[in-house]
Amino acid sequence: MARVLFAYVVEDNLGILAKSKKIELGFLNKGYKLDIISCILHENKGIKLLQLMKFHFSFFMHIMNREYNVIFIRNGYFLFGIYLLCFLLKKKIQIDINTREKEEFLTRGQSIRALFAEASRYMAMRCASRVHPVTKELMSYYSDMHPGVDFVYNPNFAVHEFYTKKNTRAPSEKMNVVFLGNTNQKWQGIDLFIKKAIAGNSWFLENCRFHIIGSCSEEIASLIESHSLKNIVITHGYVEGSAKDELMATMDIGVGSFNLAHKSITEATPIKVAEYLFSGLPVIIGYKDNRLDQNLPFVLNIPDISKQADAHELVNRFILHIRDNQHLREEAHIFALNNLTVDRYVDKIIDKQS
């Protein structure tokens, strides 16, 4: 039976941890023997350094003492030593790429981290048998830099696979629109969605409620206050487990991101959008998502929403469309079941056995 080594470090994003755990399950479901080296970094710099040293040593011991059909690593700027080891020992690896790491660090003024990211990426590509970007935009960007590397588009998937059949909405009932995530992240663009799709939209104010499940920034709180939306925009804070499932079961439409320009990208494949669809929620997004490039009746894409004069009308029409065609919720779930699962993600890794 084939064996996989899966190595990943989680710095400050628990969503990455959940995705990694789902990938572990994906490998196991395929019948692979799986060895895992993982680390959740501490905030203290000294402890973080010790953790990374231990991680590198553990990785070295694994690859020296056992042969692997697949070595899959979640890319990170702090893994230069791992990539150097693999290069020197002639170990072929596969890595995933989720962002333009160097550019993100430069945007934040973190030039040292940007330098590390560039060096780590260069070394990773020297020993990579396959690279898995989560968008076609990233694939094009990095493949131009490294033309000899095998790049495979491998988008994100639904991590939490929750689904319950929705109750039929009566025309008199209010529709619940939901954003799941952290509004402190500027690239989410929830401020733009509130300004362009909700504020001043009399039909939405009368017929809908907008729910935020997750962190609500001071900017969003101020926006709610200034537009007198306290009865329309409902903030729940972080909700987990069965309580989150119960709350999501009452929702009708999910909202994605609207300001990816803040990250110098135009494409994304967010986990939360896959989870909306898996749970039977049609979605409103503001970017290119190649998983959804078909003419899907349960997806509304409003690119560059800040410049859309008719955002009110587009959103209202879509919500009415979903309310009047409630079979589309089941269609959204079936689409996700067939296209947005971890099995499809893992298949692109294990069919390249180094």
- State the pTM of this model: 0.91
Percent of the chain residues past pLDDT 70, beyond the cut = 97
Going 201 to 206 to 207 to 208, the CA torsion angle's sign is positive
Q: State which fold the 175-339 domain adopts.
A: Rossmann fold (3.40.50)
Tell me the pLDDT tens digit for each residue of 257-288.
999 988 888 999 999 999 999 999 999 999 99
In order of 124, 130, 333, 354, the CA distances from 66 in angstroms are: 21, 21, 41, 14
Provide mean pLDDT across the span 293-322: 93
Instruction: Give pLDDT tens digits for 164-207.
Output: 877 667 677 899 999 999 999 999 999 999 999 999 999 999 99
| Contact predicate 270/156, CB 8 Å | yes
* Domain 3-158+342-350, second-level architecture: 3-Layer(aba) Sandwich (3.40)
C-alpha 10/C-alpha 42 separation (Å) is 10
pLDDT of residue 354: 38
Report pLDDT for 167. 67
* Residue 148 confidence (pLDDT) above 60: yes
User: What are the structure tokens assigned to 311, written together?
Assistant: 């955002």
Between CA 39 and CA 50 the distance in angstroms is 11
Q: Which of 328, 266, 278 is nearest to 299 (CA)?
A: 328
Top-confidence residue, 326 or 294? 326
Is residue 56 within 8 A of residue 311, CB to CB? The reply is no
pLDDT score for 301: 96
**Which regions of the chain carry the CATH code 3.40.50.2000?**
3-158+342-350, 175-339
Per-residue pLDDT, averaged over 125-147, amounts to 94
Range with the poorest average pLDDT among 8-17, 119-128, 140-149, 195-204: 8-17
User: Residue 333: which residues within 8 A CB-CB, separation 6 or more?
Assistant: 163, 277, 278, 279, 280
* DSSP code for 227: T
What is the percent of the chain with per-residue pLDDT over 90, rounded to a whole number? 79
pLDDT digits (tens, 9 = 90+) for 73-124: 998 888 999 999 999 999 999 999 988 888 888 888 889 888 988 999 999 9
Task: Considering only residues 210 and 170, tell me which one the structure prediction assigns the higher pLDDT.
Answer: 210
Q: What is the pLDDT of residues 32-41, one digit of tens each?
A: 999 999 999 9
User: Does 160 have pLDDT greater than 50?
Assistant: yes
Instruction: Retrieve residue 83's tokens.
Output: 């990539």
Six-digit token pair at 168?
């039929």
pLDDT category at 352 given cuts 50, 70, 90 is low
